[in-house]
């Protein structure tokens, strides 16, 4: 799964996946960097030039290489890459310099490296969706492709399959013949990968039926897949339902069946939960919201809310039902502490020296991005919590959350305070009392105003300049936040 697939998940799950992916290069060879989630624009500036590519790669263009491949009797492999792709860089340092790989290409193949940022038209023509992707050609025509980090042994195994004519299509046919249950059956993970590959190959009807069978049978055959079923698999099903009407119709039938079970005598909360997840898959938010509005004031629905709360809250947030979210929060301080623990875990992970790219500069850039993501994600989650409490008229609790959250920000407490105010404004909760949050606050562990007598004149001047720049930037940011609050308050006071 690539990072691009995290977008349909909750912010907490997205953060966890982001952290896992960044640290997974050395241990998870299936990871591939999505081309639509590049890092900051300057992340590749310190990279070495393309001439530093492993010698195994030819200087041929894609067009020239494919033309030559029509008659040379060899296998052409096009590696899609980017300077910011960690797994790609790792392969350049290991796989593509492996002696056995180099020898294979000397006698049997040609390899070229295609930078998707430098050659976007070629990338589009090859339908590149993630990196690294290796595309194999025979006689000028694509015959197979693989995605994700591959060791030298993995790559040679794949190249051997290409030599023997074992393409993705032929391997797919063999897997489709495997029984769904009993001896020789694929595992549920393998079956889910099969459904995903069918979808990627455009075989949407088969993919839909595989996913539908998995939805109905996965937990019966492998109960440990309960989390995967309603997260990763539900996300893949959602992509299909969004793009193909027949898939949406099939999954709607699953939803309707779950609804009937949830209404039958002896009904289970699991059926209600399935119904809500399937509503997400087919994009029927209205059905879940209507159920919520009927049940939210019913004391007998308390147990049901406990079972589905982590699916309901993101839905309510998407629809800006801030007050409803605020009324569901049982212990705001515990929620803030939980978010803080997640942030601290990511901060600790960002300090790891093993980011896996093999390039110290890129490692540092990725560590800094991860650290910034962790802090920003915590401020946003604290802001949502604060705004929802205000919207639910839990003002005193909101005040305590604000004080605690600001005190937790060890980088710049003003950034946390401004995040709280921004969230309150978005939730329609702009009010005069928010001005108190935007007051000047000292930086934690700020350098002393008095110069260090051990510093040289140049060092003192540099420190004073940096301090002045920081003070000016913080003052400008503070003034902009106050201006935004003033505007929001004035708009809220205007009669409709």
DSSP structure class, residue 57: B
HSE (side-chain half, CA atoms, 13 Å) at 426: 19
Residue 199: other Cβ atoms inside 10 A: 22
**CA dihedral (268, 273, 276, 282) positive or negative:** negative
Q: Enumerate residues 6+ apart whose C-beta is below 8 A from 307.
A: 269, 270, 272, 273
For residue 417, with 0-12 CB atoms within 10 Å meaning exposed, 13-18 middle and 19 or more buried, which class applies?
buried
Contacts by 336-342, CB closer than 8 A, 24 or more apart: 336/382, 336/385, 336/401, 336/404, 336/405, 336/408, 339/12, 339/378, 339/381, 339/382, 339/385, 340/378, 340/408, 342/12, 342/15, 342/16, 342/377, 342/378
Q: Enumerate residues 6+ apart whose C-beta is below 8 A from 44.
A: 82, 83, 84
**CA dihedral (298, 303, 309, 315) positive or negative:** negative
What tokens were used for 26? 């050395």
The interaxial angle of helices 360-391 and 11-22, nearest 10 deg, is 170
**With contact defined as beta carbons under 8 Å apart, do 432 and 409 qualify?**
no
Cα separations in angstroms, 240 against 6, 200, 212: 15, 10, 11
Contacts by 244-253, CB closer than 8 A, 24 or more apart: 244/204, 244/208, 246/204, 246/205, 246/208, 247/204, 247/207, 247/208, 248/282, 248/283, 250/208, 250/209, 250/212, 251/208, 251/211, 251/212, 251/278, 251/281, 251/282, 252/278, 252/282, 252/284
**CA dihedral (297, 300, 305, 308) positive or negative:** negative
DSSP assignment of 167-228, as one string?
Answer: -HHHHHHHHHHS-SSSTTPPPHHHHHHHHHHHHHTT-HHHHHHHHHHHHHHHHHH-GGGHHH
**With contact defined as beta carbons under 8 Å apart, do 135 and 142 qualify?**
yes
Give the residue numbers annotated as catalytic, written as ranges. 85, 88
**Closest Cα partner for 83 from 35, 36, 44?**
44
């Amino acid at each position: 799964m690539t990072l691009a697939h995290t977008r349909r998940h909750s912010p907490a799950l997205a953060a966890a996946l982001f952290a896992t992916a960044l640290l997974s290069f050395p241990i998870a060879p299936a990871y591939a960097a999505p081309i639509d989630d590049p890092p900051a624009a300057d992340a590749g500036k310190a990279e070495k030039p393309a001439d530093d590519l492993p010698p195994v790669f030819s200087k041929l263009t894609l067009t020239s290489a494919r033309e030559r491949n029509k008659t040379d009797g060899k296998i052409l492999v096009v590696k899609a890459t980017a300077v910011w792709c960690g797994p790609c860089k790792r392969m350049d340092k290991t796989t593509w310099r492996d002696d056995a790989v180099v020898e294979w290409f000397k006698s049997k193949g040609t390899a070229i490296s295609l930078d998707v940022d430098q050659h976007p038209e070629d990338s589009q023509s090859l339908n590149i969706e993630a990196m690294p992707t290796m595309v194999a050609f025979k006689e000028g025509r694509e015959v197979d492709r693989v995605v994700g980090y591959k060791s030298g042994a993995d790559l040679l195994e794949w190249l051997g399959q290409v030599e023997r004519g074992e393409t993705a299509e032929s391997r797919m046919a063999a897997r489709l013949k495997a029984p769904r249950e009993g001896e020789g059956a694929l595992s549920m993970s393998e079956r889910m990968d099969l459904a995903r590959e069918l979808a990627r190959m455009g075989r949407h009807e088969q993919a839909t039926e595989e996913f539908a069978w998995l939805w109905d049978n996965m937990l019966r055959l492998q109960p440990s897949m309960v989390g995967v079923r309603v997260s990763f698999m539900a996300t893949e099903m959602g992509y299909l339902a969004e793009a193909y009407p027949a898939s949406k119709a099939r999954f709607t039938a699953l939803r309707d069946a779950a609804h009937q079970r949830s209404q039958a005598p002896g009904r289970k909360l699991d059926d209600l939960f399935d119904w809500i997840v399937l509503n997400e898959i087919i994009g029927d938010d209205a059905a879940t919201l209507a159920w919520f509005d009927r049940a939210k004031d019913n004391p007998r629905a308390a147990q049901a809310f406990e079972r589905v709360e982590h699916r309901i809250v993101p839905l309510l947030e998407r629809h800006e039902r801030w007050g409803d979210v605020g009324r569901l929060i049982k212990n705001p301080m515990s929620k803030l502490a939980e978010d803080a623990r997640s942030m601290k875990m990511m901060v600790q992970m960002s300090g790891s020296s093993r980011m896996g790219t093999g390039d110290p500069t890129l490692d540092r850039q990725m560590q800094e991005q991860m650290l910034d993501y962790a802090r920003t994600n915590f401020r946003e989650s604290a802001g949502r919590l604060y705004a929802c409490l205000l919207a639910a008229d839990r003002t005193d609790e909101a005040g305590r959350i604000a004080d605690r959250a600001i005190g937790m920000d060890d980088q710049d407490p003003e950034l946390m305070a401004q995040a709280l105010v921004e969230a309150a404004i978005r939730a329609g909760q702009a009010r005069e009392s928010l001005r108190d949050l935007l007051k000047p606050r000292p930086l934690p562990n700020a350098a002393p105003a008095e110069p260090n007598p051990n510093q040289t004149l140049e060092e003192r001047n540099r420190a004073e300049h940096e301090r002045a720049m920081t003070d000016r930037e913080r003052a400008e940011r503070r003034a902009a936040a106050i201006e935004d609050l003033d505007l929001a308050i004035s708009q809220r006071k205007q009669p409709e």
